[in-house]
Amino acid sequence: MNQFRKSKLSENVISNRIFSGQRVGYLMTSTVLALAISACSSTESENQVKREQRAAERERIEAIAVSAHRAESQAKQQQSQRLQAFALADVSHATSPGLYPPPVADNPSYTENYQHLEENQVFSTRTNPVSTFSIDVDTGSYSNARRMLNQGWLPPADAIRVEEFVNYFDYEYPQALHHPHPFLIDSKVSTSPWNSGRMLMRIGLKAQAPQNAKEKADKTNEAIHKNLVFLLDVSGSMNSPNKLPLVKRALTMLTKQLTANDSVAIVVYAGASGVVLEPTEGNQGLKIEQALEKLSAGGSTNGGEGIELAYKLAKQAFKKGGVNRVILATDGDFNVGMVNHQQLIELIEKQKEQGIELTTLGFGQGNYNDHLIEQLANKGNGNYAYIDTLQEARKVLVDELEATLQSVARDVKIQVEFNPDTVAEYRLIGYENRALNNEDFNNDKVDAGEIGVGHTVTAFYEVVLQGGEKYNDELRYQQAQKSAPEDISNELAHIKLRYKPIDQDKSVLIDQVVLKSSIVEFEAQSTDFKFATSVISFAQLLKNSKFTQNLDFDQVITLANNNKGKDDYGYRAEFVSLVRMAKTLQTETSKTDLDNDVSMSEFNPRTRRLTNINK
């Protein structure tokens, strides 16, 4: 019995052990399954996170693509708006993309100022045979228009002065090397390339200049000493890369041309004026450069006080028999202090009489006051240039420094009398703001333009010969006039020029007769003549001249490209590029007008303003 119990107990123990083992096995299996399930859950969770990340990445990429597409569409729309804004520009406003908002009449931050002048009219020689004007060697209009074209804008018509376009370039006119006068009159007459019924008469002057580097070097000891005062605008309006920083680099280039016999001073003006550098010898380059480098822009502009202080320093370092000149570098934004421009002009004219002249250098855009800066230079017996690039700074202040600063003749006037027997009509192309009364020609008290060493001056007349294609009808009661004597019946015109030598107050007269027999076909004219013709053609197109009916940009491109001639600095090649740019911009503007359903009758060509836009 005991044996049976023991046997049963052993069976129970074994069964319990088996059951325990099975239970442990079940537990282990359950644990493994639980761990496996947990692992699967963890993997699934990780996969879910990755799916969510991939979805988020896809959404981000799609968002970037949509944003890029939207930006591209906005850019196209803004370009269209800019082209439209060009057409909406006010008469005195220019365009300047990138740094300033589109030019609209109610935008107070956009105040570029240009003088409006009516284009010279056609005169009949029967009623008005005499034309009188002052010469002009300024170039600011061309380089300012270049700035706008390079930024993708057609300049406003009032920003274009034809004479400053054609006088930007140098021409190989005869020089008066062994002559009592500082220049000779060089006249040419040709058929017109754009109108076979009319002629072009060109008057050219080239002031005396050293013929080569050796001669220039030989004259170093005889060089006229220079007393220069830099009058620099450091107001808040000059705080952009194409303003004060460019001013400093440009003037640094100029000072490298000076010697110990020269003097430099620096005056700045903003809310207050001050002397940055007292008169210093020109060979103290490091000292001058350090004075320029420490300049910074800020505050409003008080140009009047600055000019007074600059003239004071110029008097202090005055060089008798030398060049005494204030060089004003500004955007012309005089907004506090002496803002009465007439007072500024009177001050400048008074100082001019005391031997201190004024050159103006324009910089920047947006609030640029072209009219004032050009006017101040005219009244100060100086010249006006617009500096849009460092290359232009080098042209004006290095390559043409002597011409910029040293005059060879003052108050230079030209008067042309046309022979009514041979010439029916004429018009002077450009020089609208240089017109003089006929009686002013012999009056030495009447101010006129100066011409510097090596400067060239070019002027064109469009003339219609008797029997040619005239603008005006014949006058009924002016036909029975007495004919010219036989000895002058072959004459087209009589050109007279007056100038004052630098050291004299009485003018000197030189003259030249232009003969009908001197007319030459356009294709037989010199390369210089034909290139200059392309320049006046381009300027008239930009000005929307009413006299360019048979002229277009393609003709100008061909004419200029075939007649670049000698072009050491690439200025003529650059000109061709600008004409091509203007053609492209005109095409884009015309397309924008069509897209906006704008008829040409609603477009004012002078102001480039749309008077009625139909949506």
pLDDT given for residue 53 in this prediction:
67
Domain count, the chain: 3
What is the model's pLDDT at position 65? 53
Residue 450 and residue 137: Cα distance in Å, rounded?
A: 8
| Token reading at 444 | 């030495």
Element (H, E) at 537: helix 527-542
- The secondary structure element, H or E, covering residue 506 is none
The span from the CA of 491 to the CA of 460, in Å, is: 18
On whether both 234 and 355 belong to a single domain, the answer is yes
User: Do 503 and 389 sit in the same domain of this protein?
Assistant: no
Q: Are residues 260 and 318 in the same domain?
A: yes
| The pair of three-digit structure tokens given for residue 133, joined into one six-digit string | 């004007």
Side-chain-side CA neighbours of residue 590 (13 Å): 7
State the burial class of residue 153 (Cβ atoms within 10 Å of its Cβ: 0-12, 13-18, 19+).
buried
Q: What is the model's pLDDT at position 274?
A: 87
Same domain for 371 and 503: no
Q: Quick one: 313 and 206 in the same domain?
A: no
pTM: 0.78
Structure confidence at residue 549 (pLDDT)? 81
* Contact (CB, 8 A) for 295 and 268: yes
How many beta carbons lie within 10 A of that of residue 36, not counting itself?
10
Query: In DSSP terms, which residues pair with 362 in a beta bridge?
Result: 330, 386
* C-beta of residue 324 within 8 angstroms of C-beta of residue 224: no
Give yes or no: residues 401 and 411 share one domain. no
What whole-number distance in Å separates Cα of residue 52 and Cα of residue 34? Answer: 26
Q: Which tokens in the block code for residue 497?
A: 């020029």
Q: Is residue 570 part of a domain?
A: no
Assess contact for 273 and 267: CB atoms under 8 A. yes
Q: What's the half-sphere exposure (Cβ side, CA atoms, 13 Å) at 330?
A: 34
Q: What is the pLDDT of residue 103?
A: 44
Q: Cβ(310)–Cβ(229) under 8 Å?
A: yes
pLDDT along the chain (615 residues), means of 10: 46 48 49 50 58 64 53 49 38 34 42 91 95 96 96 94 97 87 95 90 89 44 82 85 90 93 92 84 94 79 74 95 93 61 87 94 90 92 94 94 91 97 96 97 96 95 90 71 70 97 94 96 97 98 91 96 95 98 86 51 43 36
Any domain includes 583: no
530 and 450 in a common domain? yes
The alpha carbon dihedral of 94, 100, 105, 111 has a sign of: negative
The first and second tokens of residue 487, run together, are 């000895």
**Using an 8 Å Cβ cutoff, are 472 and 124 in contact?**
yes
Report yes or no on 94 lying in a domain.
Answer: no
Contacts 24+ apart (CB under 8 A), 170-178: 170/456, 171/204, 171/206, 171/456, 171/458, 171/528, 171/532, 172/206, 172/528, 172/566, 173/204, 173/205, 173/206, 173/456, 173/528, 174/206, 175/206, 175/207, 175/208, 175/209, 176/208, 177/208, 177/211
Q: Is residue 350 part of a domain?
A: yes
> Backbone phi, then psi, for 265, in 5-degree steps?
-135, 155
Last residue of a domain, one of 503, 525, 551: 551
What DSSP string describes 382-393?
--EEE--SHHHH
Residues 167 and 274 in one domain: no
Could you report how far apart the first and last alpha carbons of the chain are, in Å? 120
Last residue of a domain, one of 363, 381, 405: 405
pLDDT for the residue numbered 332: 79
Write out the two tokens for 97.
């993309």
Say yes or no: 259 and 392 in one domain. yes
Cβ(185)–Cβ(510) below 8 Å: yes
How many whole angstroms separate alpha carbon 322 and alpha carbon 98? 43
Q: CA 377 to CA 327: how far, in whole Å?
A: 10
C-alpha 271 chain-centroid distance? 27
Residues 18 and 129 in one domain: no
**pLDDT reported for residue 102:** 41
Question: 558-567 as b/e, with b when 16 or more CB fall inside 10 Å?
Answer: ebbbebbeee
Range of the domain at 59: 1-77
Measured CA to CA, the distance from residue 84 to residue 588 in angstroms comes to 10
Report the C-alpha gap between 490 and 470 in whole angstroms: 20
Residues 319 and 369 in one domain: yes
Please indicate, yes or no, if residue 596 is contained in any of the structural domains: no
Contact by Cβ (8 Å): 251, 290: no
- Tell me whether residue 580 is in a domain: no
pLDDT at position 334, please? Answer: 64
Neighbouring C-alpha atoms within 13 Å toward the C-beta of 296: 2
pLDDT of residue 525: 97
Residue 183 CA to residue 207 CA, distance in Å, equals 5
Would you say residue 171 lies in a domain?
yes
Compute CA distances 344 → 132, 314, 348, 384, 473, whole Å: 27, 17, 6, 16, 46
Asked which of 12, 47, 77 is the last residue of a domain, the reply is: 77
Nearest by Cα to 113 from 365, 382, 433, 359:
365
For residue 316, give the CATH number of its domain. Answer: 3.40.50.410
Residue 169's domain is classified under what CATH number?
2.60.40.1230
SS3 123: strand
What is the token pair recorded at 353? 């009489």
Per-residue pLDDT at 333: 72
Q: Which amino acid is at 270?
A: A
Looking at residue 45, its pLDDT comes to 57
> Residue 333 class from Cβ within 10 Å (0-12 exposed, 13-18 middle, 19+ buried)?
buried
Q: Side by side, which strands form the sheet with 357-362?
A: 273-281, 263-269, 226-233, 323-330, 357-362, 384-386
Tokens representing 323 are 């060049």
Secondary structure element (H or E) that encloses residue 595, with its range: helix 571-595
Do 303 and 334 belong to one domain? yes
- Helix segments in 243-339, DSSP class H: 244-255, 285-293, 303-316
* Residue 251 covered by a domain: yes
Q: Tell me how far apart the alpha carbons of residues 201 and 491 are, in angstroms, rounded to a whole number.
A: 13
